[in-house]
Structure 1
């Protein structure tokens, strides 16, 4: 049920490729104009790679769907030029509370320290995010979105892919050096290649509703085990923009999905939870979910991302956040390959890193689901014992799992150079850099992640040694001034400390003293050129 009409609709336009006698060839074709496909296309276009983005629909705005976007996702969106409108519209939050019945078990703070540009989380209806991404895409000269262009056929070759695309004017063919399948959980591309998911399906059903009302609830994440208004089940409440509130109610495995969406079933449940009927129902759905993924994300010149590659439960906001991190990992690698700056084997690191990240997310998601909806009497006893202990003991609070919230992945691959020294601080090898407030050469305030601009960068604290020539180098104290001392604290920086940062802002390697040969070697590994003579 959806009472909100589509907010944004886009017209079909005939493209030049449809009038060619032979198929046009493009460096990258992205299939699917959801958040993952849009982020991938924008990132590639910003890196100078022409992109065609195909989508079988002509609109966004069919229900709010995903709403929670984590700090790392916001940092990626900031690099893509869309964080500002999202922050302006979204509801910022960092506090969460977990209840059993009416009792508060504990509260948590997801970002207790200052000195970061982005907040811990914002809540924002997915259609607002998609609209901001579409507007950004429209501003890029080498990115073309083709609405109502449905991929109905695919032929793989060693040097690329030929796609058959169906439109209101008939079908046409287009060739791509690379195709990114970001076409969602029901991926048509996945079906055309005959690929199956591996993993687990859960039987429990959940009601998800968006309710418009004036409420006194603060902008926090509230989760209940066995609340008095929904006994024996779980419930979740989140605030969204426009006085809209997201409510999740566990229904159990035997619930009738169609019947539970009927107003005569939904409205009494909501009245019982809210204690009044002064609200309007905007969107409602009943869902089950799976925790599963493709065995491999890369199939020749076809690369899968987002829900087309992996699926998780919604607990912990891991779906859209992990999908956008797929795009963040993939785009710089495809761009380097397309520009001839990297070996094609670099794409194998996408498969390794993001399939490992998917396993991590699936593990967290499965454990959350088992805790929220125990599937055996043994699991239920463990859950109830943990909840009882959490009332009185700090250690048991860590055992309560109402959805471990999304965190970025740390990549442990051959692209990372092992630490040979002990380091303190919050910067970790293979993880995204912690942000820090800095000043540039002119004295203007700038954030560290802004200064990196999505490029491979060497950060160097001078000590008389010169970092290697030919790389993008930012010198701390000259190019960037650490007035607050937070960079030194978070990076355990001292004279001579040198850091190699990947284009996706993950820390690839670090040294106590600049070693030009070691830095050049690590940089070559980032391009998949290890062992190749310069």
Structure 2
């Protein structure tokens, strides 16, 4: 597909020579910044997005988009297109040598609008987000606008911006940095970015197979995630394989910490590695890159009126598809909170809650990523022996399967201790409790619960009607799939936040209790 551009043009600030005050300026037009811009626009908050480039980056980069992220995209109008055009999958296989160690299913139960995972190259996802932004007159996307200075104040932020026509100043009530792992905004704020940089190097190769070729049993009609430890075609290392849209296959080769990067970049060396993996089947090399990665996060996600999201706030390894997914979920978490503060509907403590919740999620993701990386690339003889034992036992013992870690796939973090959550007043046998992601379910009219909640505060009433002034209510059966997923019974009610997180739940409806929990979830617990 043709990728849209967002070319440079002079802004009103430049033409007039007078700084213009903007409610929100987002730095960075990647998936996170674009998602946040669309979210705020749908809440009628005007946004300016600045990017130092004027086009979408090349190469597959992020590939896997998880169910929670797809639900966010769906609410913003691009989820169905991503799910339609990408490669859907939910099963994975892990091999030790050529023998299967175990397999898994990410979504064994039906009854969800969105699939467990969709593989679609990042540039294709960004293209859909850019087009959606360009169709929304509440968002102004400015290419070739580079942030070079930042002056946070008590009531706003001054931005110093460089363009092809020179340097000018902007004013913003709020600034959100979505400008990547090398974030200029984070540097201008002087924030530390602590964590672990891993020395291992990895090669990405995107390839297209000849028509009809099915090396190693690859089946484009039944795509799965395949991961090898110590395969015969790449001894002593690991390999990851994913199907992508357009007939592409992405292969990640672990090269080790002592790899000669310049030698490994040579096309003939890459082709030799791919050919060995594909049993000599004909292929075309579409794109390649060599990378290292880090697991680290910023010391703060909020400095006054400047907030950080995505890679600007945290980095993880690519194993487990946690990078772009967690960034999009940052935007989902922040959008409604920032809009509520701007409109005076919520207290500024909402933005402290954003920092609390998303730092918690970053630490959760970094922990999973670090453990996966340590298993994939053991650093000592003892850890190598333990890994070998787990891989040898996995085909025969369920307990050993849990020890094999090729990258735990992205799942949203539960914010059980969030200051916005109202704890249960009585015991619930099961289901999604306060701070947990609100699960989807089919509705009797053929729609979906995720659609009915529509990115707003919603009260779910199970088995009987309930009413609270100003709060939309979705009435659901007191028994059945939705009730099981929420742990509800006839008479239960559940309050859900705009980012589809459970805020509170009760087995008996009490309008005043709902109002108190609603106020707490808006960052104003005293009403």
Normalised TM-score (structure 1): 0.94
Q: CA deviation at 1:6?
A: 8.4
CA contact (8 A) 2:431 2:488 kept: no
Structure 1 residue 434 displacement after superposition? 1.0
Separation in structure 1 between the aligned mates of residue 503 and residue 322 of structure 2, nearest angstrom: 24
Separation (CA, whole Å) in 2 of partners of 1:44 and 1:491: 28
| CA gap 1:151/1:6 in 2 versus in 1, 3 angstroms | farther
| 1:158 counterpart SS class | coil
CA–CA distance in 2 between the matches of 1:378 and 1:403? Answer: 20
Unmatched 5+ stretches in structure 2: none
**Match of residue 11, structure 1, among 1, 7, 10:** 7
- Stretch deviating more after TM superposition (356-365 or 209-218): 209-218
Q: CA RMSD in A?
A: 1.6
Matched, 1:506 2:501: yes
Deviation at 1:425, TM superposition (A): 4.5
Asked if structure 1 preserves the Cα contact closer than 8 Å seen for 2:494 and 2:502, the reply is yes
Q: Deviations over 1:432-491 (max 9, x none)?
A: 11111103xxxx421001001000111123557x543232222336xxxx8x93112222
Out of 231, 235, 244, which is 2:235 matched to?
231
CA distance in 2, matches of 1:467, 1:365: 44
What is the match of residue 419 of structure 2? 414
CA distance in 1, matches of 2:104, 2:258: 33
Secondary structure of 1:286 counterpart? strand
Aligned to 2:325: 321
Partner of 1:476: 476
SS of match in other structure, 1:342 = coil
Partner of 2:201: 205
| Residue 530, structure 1, aligned to residue 517, structure 2 | no
Partner of residue 340, structure 1: 344
After superposing on structure 2, the runs of 4+ consecutive aligned residues of structure 1 that deviate more than 4 Å are: none
Alignment of 1:53-452 (within 5 A): 53-214=49-210, 215-216=213-214, 217-218=218-219, 219-276=223-280, 278-412=282-416, 413-439=418-444, 444-452=445-453
Tell me if the contact between 1:49 and 1:335 (Cα under 8 Å) persists in the aligned partners. yes
State the distance in 2 between where 1:463 and 1:285 align.
57
Task: State the TM-score, normalized to the length of structure 2.
Answer: 0.96
* SS of equivalent residue, structure 1 residue 42: helix
- Aligned residues of 1:467 and 1:515 also touching (Cα < 8 A): no
Q: Distance in 2 between matches of 1:7 and 1:132?
A: 9
Q: Secondary structure at the match of 2:375?
A: helix
Q: Deviations over 1:141-181 (max 9, x none)?
A: 21110011111111110111111111111122111100000
Find the residue that maps to 2:354 and give its secondary structure: helix
CA contact (8 A) 1:7 1:61 kept: no
1:84 Cα offset (Å)? 1.4
3-state DSSP class of the match of 2:33? helix
Residue 211 of structure 1 aligns to a residue whose secondary structure is strand
Supply the distance in 1 between the matched residues of 2:208 and 2:264 (Cα, whole angstroms).
Answer: 19
Per-residue deviation, 1:213: 1.6
Count of equivalent residues: 518
Which residue is equivalent to 2:462?
A: 461
Question: Which region of structure 1 is more displaced relative to structure 2, 31-40 or 136-145?
Answer: 136-145
